[in-house]
Chain A
Amino acid sequence: MSERRGETEGTVRNRLLRAALAAGLLLVLAACAPNATQDTMQPEGPAAREEKALFVPVFWVAVGVFVLVEGGIVWIAIRFRHRRDRDRMPAQIHGNTRLEIGWTIAPALVLAGVMIPTIATIWDLARKPPPNALNVTVLGYQWWWGFEYTDPEMARNYGDRGPVRISDVLVIPAGRPVYLSLVAAGGDIDRPGEVDDDHIVIHSFWVPQLGGKQDVVPNRTNHILLEADHPGTYTGQCAEFCGLQHGRMKVRVVALSAEDWERWRVEIRRPADTPPPGSLARRGMELFMGELSGGRGSCTSCHTVGGTDASATAAPELTDFADPTHECFAGCNWSTTDRAALEAWLRDPNAVKLGAKMPNYHLTDEEIDALVAYLSSLD
Chain B
Amino acid sequence: MADVALDHGGSAEHPETTTGLPHTKLAMWLFLGSECLLFGALISTYVLYRGRAGPPPSPNDVFDIPYTSVSSFVLLASSLTMVLALAAAQRLDHGQMRLWLLCTAMLGMTFVGGQVYEFTSFFNEGLSLETNLFGTTFFVLTGFHGVHVTVGILMLLSLVGMSWTGRLPTDQSFPIEMVGLYWHFVDVVWIVIFTVVYLIPTPSPGGPGGG
Chain A hits for B210, CB < 8 A: 219-220
A118: Cβ under 8 A from any B Cβ: no
Chain A hits for B10, CB < 8 A: none
A335: Cβ under 8 A from any B Cβ: no
A11: Cβ under 8 A from any B Cβ: no
B9: Cβ under 8 A from any A Cβ: no
A221: Cβ under 8 A from any B Cβ: yes
CB within 8 Å of A: which B152-211 residues:
210-211
A220 to B210: give the CA distance in the assembly, Å.
7
Tell me what chain B mostly uses at the interface: helix, strand, loop, or mixed. loop
A221 to B210: give the CA distance in the assembly, Å.
10
A68-93 to B contact mask, C-beta < 8 Å, 1/0: 00000000000000000000000000
Q: How many residues of B contact A (CB 8 A)?
A: 2
Q: What residue in chain B is nearest A221 (Cβ atoms)?
A: B211
Chain B hits for A221, CB < 8 A: 211
Q: Give min CB distance, A39 to chain B, whole Å.
A: 34
Chain B hits for A220, CB < 8 A: 210-211
Q: Give min CB distance, A221 to chain B, whole Å.
A: 7
Q: Give min CB distance, A217 to chain B, whole Å.
A: 10
Chain A hits for B211, CB < 8 A: 219-221
A221 to B211: give the CA distance in the assembly, Å.
7
Q: What residue in chain B is nearest A219 (Cβ atoms)?
A: B210
A219 to B210: give the CA distance in the assembly, Å.
6
Q: What residue in chain A is nearest B210 (Cβ atoms)?
A: A219
Q: What residue in chain A is nearest B52 (Cβ atoms)?
A: A219
A219 to B133: give the CA distance in the assembly, Å.
14
CB within 8 Å of B: which A205-220 residues:
219-220
Q: Give min CB distance, B49 to chain A, whole Å.
A: 12
Q: What residue in chain A is nearest B209 (Cβ atoms)?
A: A219
Q: What residue in chain A is nearest B211 (Cβ atoms)?
A: A220
A211 to B211: give the CA distance in the assembly, Å.
24
Q: Give min CB distance, A216 to chain B, whole Å.
A: 14
Q: Give min CB distance, A219 to chain B, whole Å.
A: 5
Q: Give min CB distance, A184 to chain B, whole Å.
A: 13
A213-240 to B contact mask, C-beta < 8 Å, 1/0: 0000001110000000000000000000
A220 to B211: give the CA distance in the assembly, Å.
5
Q: Give min CB distance, A200 to chain B, whole Å.
A: 14
A219 to B211: give the CA distance in the assembly, Å.
6
Q: Give min CB distance, A270 to chain B, whole Å.
A: 36
A33 to B115: give the CA distance in the assembly, Å.
66
Q: Give min CB distance, B207 to chain A, whole Å.
A: 15
A246 to B206: give the CA distance in the assembly, Å.
34
Q: Give min CB distance, B45 to chain A, whole Å.
A: 15
Chain B hits for A219, CB < 8 A: 210-211
**Which 3 pairs between the two chains have the least Cβ-Cβ distance?**
A219-B210, A220-B211, A219-B211
Q: Which residues of B contact A (CB under 8 A)?
A: 210-211
Q: Can you offer 5 A-B residue contacts whose CB atoms are under 8 A?
A: A219-B210, A219-B211, A220-B210, A220-B211, A221-B211
